[in-house]
Amino acid sequence: MPSPYRAIFATPGTKGFTAAGLIGRMPLSMVGIGVLTMITELGGSYALAGGITATIALSAAAVGPQVSRLVDQYGQRRVLRPATLVAAASVTGLLVAAAGGWPSWTLFVFAVVAGCVPSVGSMVRARWTALFRDTPQLHTAYSFESILDEVCFIVGPPLAATLSAGWFPEAGPVVAVVFLVTGVWWLTALTATEPKPHPRHEHSDLSSALRSPGLQVLVATFVATGAIFGSVDVATLAFAEEHGSKSLGGIFLAVWAFGSCLAGIVFGLLHFKGKAEPRWVVGISAMAVSMIPLLLAGNLPFLAVALFVSGLAIAPTMITTMALIEAHVPHAKLTEGMTWISTGLAVGIALGSSVTGWVVDAAGARTGYVVSLSAGAAAAAVAFAGYRRLTRPAQGEEPATDGDGDSTERQHGDRVA
């Protein structure tokens, strides 16, 4: 492991919460693909499967920030364990309903409740921030977390798709639930590195972290970015099925994540000077442009190469985004702020997967990538339109680093990246 990464693990407790977080976030990449494969294996349409995964994502978008807000107030252990049990029970109900041929509306009911699954990645990043706030090591830690996110997307989709397509339809989501419960229980048992909660008293600021203008721009942009992810997931699975091997869809999504993982490793070794905002806009724009080759894919090898190249823009953009969140959100609301990005992605994934499911059923798999390209263009447009707002001073906040170790000063002593 390169020395910058090795250095962050010299701090006691970091290896434990990193391993627990890796296990606990595996469902992030497995549930959607697992449910999608399960529904289609049981005879359902891509439209139905996309609608159910979209419902889970939208529910997570609504409930996730509230769970994280409670975590900021009461601590990870007190909140995450009951939330995880509710999520696990609802996913189990969804599997039973699907396997038993229950009416479609019952699947959507369970999908709504499943949205209370906690954002494990945000919990781990909050621990890193508590350890390395305002130091160059925080950039390395965020980079490493983005690498682990991509590892999940390298391993998770093919694992879920292979289990559900090759073992029994419900196998992928079942394994995802086991990962979730195991990871959360392990993580919350590691109390030594748990960030200190910030109880809200009578005179405390009870407003949401989303009141930050900079965070609003980031979240809005990531709604469109999430639509990229959701549409590519559905279109790629359908494309692989059209070309005779549905199980290869998960492998191709892993290739996409592998490109992102490699880019994240390199990005974490670099130390940037200057503002983070221009790098973020470039990253969003690169993601948009990288959707064009997918639309031109006529065979599986071409698609694999296009997905790998497309993945190169993902991790660097996510790393920069986390640095901007740390700069725009007060410390007492950091976990909530990070979860709002996951919320934006969840909403986008819901929209992207749902729309693409209908497009694929109506016009074929490759046409589904039109949704991906449209979402990329929308993300770039929002990023450019909100750039001034993103660089606006955050009133009432103290100066801080930009997440890459460089001090960033603004007028009035406000803190932004």
Q: Domain segments of the chain: what residues?
A: 13-197+211-413
How many Cβ atoms are within 10 Å of 296's Cβ, its own excluded? 11
CA distances (Å), 80 to each of 2, 180, 183, 272, in order?
A: 33, 11, 11, 35
What are residue 235's phi and psi, to 5 degrees? -65, -35
Alpha helices in 170-212 (DSSP H): 171-189
The residue-averaged pLDDT of 136-142 equals 86
pLDDT at 228: 93
End-to-end Cα spacing for the chain = 28
Fold assignment, 13-197+211-413: Growth Hormone; Chain: A; (1.20.1250)
Please name the amino acid found at residue 203. H
Q: What is the pTM of this model?
A: 0.74
**Contact, 22 vs 155, CB < 8 A?**
no
Q: How confident is the model at residue 405 (pLDDT cuts 50, 70, 90)?
A: very low
Task: Give 201 or 112, the one with higher predicted confidence.
Answer: 112
Q: How confident is the model at residue 345 (pLDDT cuts 50, 70, 90)?
A: confident
Hey, which residues does 407 pair with through a beta bridge? 401
DSSP string for residues in 282-307 = HHHHHHHHTTHHHHH--SHHHHHHHH
CA gyration radius for the chain?
Answer: 20
247-256, 313-322, 400-409: lowest mean pLDDT where? 400-409
For 43, residues 6+ apart whose C-beta sits below 8 A from its C-beta are none
- CA–CA distance, 346 with 359 (Å, rounded to integer): 20
